[in-house]
Structure 1
Amino acid sequence: MKHFCILIFLFFPLFSGAQILQTDVQARLNTPALQGAWWAGEAGFAGEEPLFSIRAEQRMAPASTLKLITSAAALETFGPDYRFETRLYANAAPDENGTLAGDLYVRGGGDPALGSLRPKGGEDAATVLTRWAKKLKQAGIQHVCGNIYADDSLFEGLSVGRKVNWENMGNYYAAPVSALAIADNSFRIYFDAQPLHGRLARVSGMKPQVPGVQITSFATADALNRKDNTYVYAAPGQYQLTLYGTLPAGLQGFSVAAALPEPALFAVQYFKQILQKNGITVDGQAKVLSAAPDYQKMRLLYTQYSVPLKDILYVVNKRSFNFYAEMLARNLAVHAGEKGTMENGLKQLEKWLRSKNIPLQDVVLYDASGLSRDNMLSARALTGTLNAMAQSPYFETYYNTLATPNDRGDLLVLRRFLAPQKRIENVRVKGGTIDGVKALAGYVKNADGKLISFAFIANNLDHKNESVFRLHENIIKLLLETREEPNR
Structure 2
Amino acid sequence: MNRPLKYWVLTCFLVTCFVSGKAQEKVPLSHFFSRWANQEILEHASIGLYVQDAKTGEGVLQSSPQVSLTPASTLKLLTTAAALELLGPDYRFETRLAYQGYIQNDTLFGDLNILGGGDPALGSIYFKEHYLKNHFQDTWVKALKDLNVRHITGKLVADASVYDDQFIPNTWIWEDLGNYYGAGACGLSVYDNLYEIHLSSPATAGKTTKFLSTKPQIPGLEFDNRVLSADDPRDQAYVFGSPLNNQRTIRGSIPKGKADFVVKASIPNPPFLLAWQLKNRLAEADIQLTGEIQVIWEKQKNAEDKEMQKLKVIATTISPPLSDIVSVTNHESVNLFAEHLLKHLAYLKTGLGSTKEGIEVVTDFWKEKGIDTRGLYLADGSGLSHFNAMTAEQMVQVLHYMKTKSASGSYLFQSLPTVPNGTLWYFRPELFPRNTLLAKSGSMTRVRCFAGQLTTITGRELLFAVFVNNFSCTQRQAIQAIEELLAELAKR
Q: Provide TM-score, normalisation by structure 2.
A: 0.89
SS of residue in 1 equivalent to 2:125: coil
Paired residues of 1:100 and 1:143 also in contact (CA < 8 A): yes
**Deviation string, structure 1 residues 270-329 (Cα, Å, up to 9, x no partner):** 211122122222111111124256121221111110011111111110100100000100
Structure 2 residue aligned with 1:469, among 479, 488, 491? 479
CA apart distance, 1:338: 4.7
CA apart distance, 1:356: 2.4
Name the amino acid aligned to 2:248. Answer: L
Please tell me whether residue 311 in structure 1 is matched to residue 328 in structure 2.
no
Paired residues of 1:75 and 1:309 also in contact (CA < 8 A): yes
> 2: distance between equivalents of 1:304 and 1:340?
20
Please tell me whether residue 479 in structure 1 is matched to residue 467 in structure 2.
no
Name the amino acid aligned to 1:417. Answer: R
Paired residues of 2:448 and 2:475 also in contact (CA < 8 A): no
1:39-438 equivalences in 2 (<5 Å): 39-46=47-54, 47-55=56-64, 57-96=66-105, 98-119=106-127, 121-124=129-132, 127-223=135-231, 225-289=232-296, 290-291=298-299, 292=304, 294-391=307-404, 392-407=406-421, 409-410=422-423, 412=424, 415-418=426-429, 420=430, 423-438=433-448
SS of residue in 2 equivalent to 1:86: strand
> 1: distance between equivalents of 2:411 and 2:389?
26
**Deviation string, structure 1 residues 395-443 (Cα, Å, up to 9, x no partner):** 2211110001201x22x4x53413x367241110100001110001110
5+ long unaligned stretches in structure 1: 1-14, 483-488
List structure 1 segments (4+ residues) > 6 angstroms apart after TM superposition.
none
Paired residues of 2:101 and 2:310 also in contact (CA < 8 A): no
Paired residues of 1:33 and 1:461 also in contact (CA < 8 A): yes
Closer/same/farther in 2, CA of residues 371 and 220 from structure 1, 3 Å limit: same
> 2: distance between equivalents of 1:269 and 1:338?
27
Mean alpha-carbon deviation: is it higher for 390-399 or for 60-69?
390-399
CA apart distance, 1:91: 1.1
> 2: distance between equivalents of 1:35 and 1:465?
15
CA apart distance, 1:216: 0.7
> 2: distance between equivalents of 1:210 and 1:379?
42
Closer/same/farther in 2, CA of residues 139 and 194 from structure 1, 3 Å limit: farther
Paired residues of 2:165 and 2:186 also in contact (CA < 8 A): no
> 2: distance between equivalents of 1:278 and 1:125?
19
CA apart distance, 1:386: 0.8
Name the amino acid aligned to 1:400. Answer: Q
5+ long unaligned stretches in structure 2: 1-22
> 2: distance between equivalents of 1:252 and 1:474?
41
Name the amino acid aligned to 1:460. Answer: N
Q: What's 2:20 paired with? A: none
Q: What's 1:455 paired with? A: 465
Q: What's 2:10 paired with? A: none
Closer/same/farther in 2, CA of residues 474 and 138 from structure 1, 3 Å limit: same
Paired residues of 1:124 and 1:183 also in contact (CA < 8 A): no
SS of residue in 1 equivalent to 2:277: helix
Paired residues of 1:119 and 1:312 also in contact (CA < 8 A): no
CA apart distance, 1:56: 6.0
> 2: distance between equivalents of 1:357 and 1:251?
55
Name the amino acid aligned to 1:84. Answer: F
Closer/same/farther in 2, CA of residues 113 and 428 from structure 1, 3 Å limit: same
> 1: distance between equivalents of 2:473 and 2:332?
21
Paired residues of 1:139 and 1:301 also in contact (CA < 8 A): no
> 2: distance between equivalents of 1:92 and 1:147?
11
Mean alpha-carbon deviation: is it higher for 48-57 or for 236-245?
48-57
Residues paired across the two proteins, number: 461
Name the amino acid aligned to 1:38. Answer: S
Name the amino acid aligned to 1:401. Answer: S
Closer/same/farther in 2, CA of residues 356 and 478 from structure 1, 3 Å limit: farther
Paired residues of 1:56 and 1:379 also in contact (CA < 8 A): no
- Identity rate of aligned residues, in percent? 30
